[in-house]
Amino acid sequence: MPSADEFDLTLIRNVRPPGWVNPEPAGRYNLVVVGAGTAGLVTAAVASALGAKVALIERDRMGGDCLNVGCVPSKGIIRASRAWAEVRRATEFGLRIPDGAAVDFAAVMARMRRLRARISPADSADRYRRLGVDVFLGEGRFSGPRSIEVEGRRLTFSKAAVCTGGRAAAPAIPGLEDAGFLTNETVFGLTELPRRMAVIGAGPIGSELAQAFSRFGCRVALFERTGQILQREDVDAAATVAKRMKIEGVQIVLNAGLTGIQKRGKEKVVQYEINGGRMELGVDEILVAAGRTPNVEGLGLESAGVAYDPLNGVKVDSGLRTTNPRIFAAGDICSAFKFTHAADAQAQIVVQNALFPHPLGIGLASTETLIIPWCTYTDPELAHVGMYEAEARVKNLEVESFTFRLDEVDRAVLDGEEEGFARVHVRKGTDKILGATLVAAHAGEMIGELTLAMKAGAGLGTLTRTIHPYPTQAEVIRKVATAWRKTALTEGRKRILRRWFAWMR
């Protein structure tokens, strides 16, 4: 790990100010929030803006995973890896790049640290204090159903929110602990590019970082125990991303059973079984991205009467209430949707339900009405919203799916970004959108349109009539809607039209 540079010092000044003095607890709080990641920050800010007396407790860095060791640093370096991938394709665009162009990995990481520091004031302890929130830095631990302790102080509350997030799960692979490994908490501290890296787990985090590091020039092997990278996603969508990664040189090892890690000198040797055969691969670093573990330990949840399980975290109902009706939860600690924007949306629900309860439950906000899109920021990006086809079938919904390829969209061709497609699932015989997958260079920017359509109850019929600027890649959405409309032209309707035009002549 490097010693902190000016950017990290700025970051720390914002998110973990040295010498911070915790305030004197103020009587009983309307709301005490434990954890100042996205879920906790949004809960505290919204509640405080409404006039509630709020305390926010953070044991490490304000901003949580997203700012410090998640979305922000990963997207920072992914941007650099994309820029480099473009440079390497320069001749394709008719551009001549002088010899000697190279990746300066230390500079890539410095840029990321600079931008992370620049973004950090929004999550800073000082900003929250100015918002009127009592910010306590220290480990929070419930001491009863209506009280929590932090740094020797006891805070009492009317309502509380558990927003303690999660951390990288360490798979039980013999020798892994001894060999040492990186996680999202340490990988962004690298200043030298490893020559060879094994990435364990081909979910969104593993896939994004495998491609980025490979693009920088690291030889990356991506190990996945199932038969598909991004295993949750549409098969064709994941295959499109996997194909690009393989072309670029990522070694993707599917159905891999990791049997052990051995340290041989400076090398870490990954031992695995595939199709009954035993294999070995020597690497310099191992990045573990094999799922997340909720931060439930040491929180005193038992004394607060909050039920949890160590795998899935705090148990909540659709109103995000825990088994203690005064305590709520939001974000990665309780949700299957482990995204920053999901944590944000859940935080709003917690504020509504905690601060404006109704004895009959009238007006309670619910997670069931949330439509949560997501995106994996590989290149091409893979974004999704709503149901997958298989999911709809399990729910006994009759589904029709429409797909339109990006290589038939002019802008994608002109951009040299033709890999991908839009796929929309509708309820059979209707234009009602059940779900959609986009694979495109900027799928994350495009999925919002489909999310809005679903939220507003607008179907594919509306999307066919929505004018999109030409040429844009987002035209793929209107085109996939048009593919649906064509199916409305049944043989019967065609016959009527033929008669009409014959009569018109």
Ligand X SMILES: Cc1cc2nc3c(=O)[nH]c(=O)nc-3n(C[C@H](O)[C@H](O)[C@H](O)COP(=O)(O)OP(=O)(O)OC[C@H]3O[C@@H](n4cnc5c(N)ncnc54)[C@H](O)[C@@H]3O)c2cc1C
The dihedral region occupied by 140, where left means phi > 0, alpha psi between -120 and 50, and beta the remainder, is beta
What's the rounded Cα separation, in Å, for the pair 481 and 500? Answer: 26
**Among 221, 227, 207, 217, which residue's Cα sits nearest to residue 286?**
221
User: Which tokens in the block code for residue 145?
Assistant: 């159903």
Alpha helices in 23-159, H assignment, sequence order: 38-49, 64-69, 71-88, 105-119, 125-130
Residues 6+ away with beta carbon under 8 Å from 240: 380, 382, 419, 420, 421, 439
Question: Among all chains, which residue has been given the structure tokens 């041989």?
Answer: 264
The nearest distance, CB 399 to ligand X, in angstroms, is 27
Q: Which is nearer to ligand X, 125 or 453 (CB)?
A: 125
Q: Which is nearer to ligand X, 340 or 401 (CB)?
A: 340
The nearest distance, CB 60 to ligand X, in angstroms, is 4
Q: Which is nearer to ligand X, 78 or 193 (CB)?
A: 78
The nearest distance, CB 22 to ligand X, in angstroms, is 12
Helix (H) / strand (E) element for 244: namely helix 235-248
User: Which tokens in the block code for residue 26?
Assistant: 């103020």
The nearest distance, CB 205 to ligand X, in angstroms, is 4
The nearest distance, CB 490 to ligand X, in angstroms, is 42
Q: Which is nearer to ligand X, 235 or 337 (CB)?
A: 337
Residues in the chain, overall count = 505
Give DSSP secondary structure letters for 322-362.
-SSTTEEE-GGGT-S---HHHHHHHHHHHHHHHHS--TT-T
The nearest distance, CB 478 to ligand X, in angstroms, is 27
Q: Report residue 268 CA to chain centroid gap.
A: 29
Chain positions contacting ligand X, by CB under 6 A:
34-40, 57-60, 64-66, 70-71, 74-75, 139-140, 163-166, 184, 205, 295, 298-299, 331-333, 338-341, 343, 377
Q: Which is nearer to ligand X, 41 or 193 (CB)?
A: 41
Q: Which is nearer to ligand X, 296 or 480 (CB)?
A: 296
Cα dihedral 20, 23, 24, 28 in deg (nearest 10) = -140
Helix (H) / strand (E) element for 415: namely helix 410-415
**Among 57, 61, 63, which residue's Cα sits nearest to residue 138?**
57
Q: Which is nearer to ligand X, 166 or 386 (CB)?
A: 166
The nearest distance, CB 153 to ligand X, in angstroms, is 13
Distances (CA, A) of 89 to 96, 323, 416: 10, 55, 10
The nearest distance, CB 180 to ligand X, in angstroms, is 19
What's the rounded Cα separation, in Å, for the pair 406 and 307? Answer: 47
Q: Which is nearer to ligand X, 64 or 319 (CB)?
A: 64
Q: Which is nearer to ligand X, 331 or 420 (CB)?
A: 331
Q: Which is nearer to ligand X, 199 or 409 (CB)?
A: 199
Q: Which is nearer to ligand X, 61 or 478 (CB)?
A: 61
Q: Which is nearer to ligand X, 193 or 460 (CB)?
A: 193
As to burial, measured by CB atoms within 10 angstroms (0-12 exposed, 13-18 middle, 19+ buried), residue 79 is middle
The nearest distance, CB 347 to ligand X, in angstroms, is 8
Contact between residue 474 and residue 449 where contact means Cβ atoms under 8 Å apart:
yes
The nearest distance, CB 71 to ligand X, in angstroms, is 4
The nearest distance, CB 453 to ligand X, in angstroms, is 21
Helix (H) / strand (E) element for 213: namely helix 204-216
Distances (CA, A) of 57 to 119, 153, 329: 21, 11, 14
Q: Which is nearer to ligand X, 345 or 454 (CB)?
A: 345
Residue 427 main-chain phi, psi, to 5 deg: -70, 130
Q: What's the maximum distance between 2 C-alpha atoms anywhere in the chain?
A: 90
Residue 108 main-chain phi, psi, to 5 deg: -60, -45
The nearest distance, CB 161 to ligand X, in angstroms, is 10
The nearest distance, CB 299 to ligand X, in angstroms, is 5
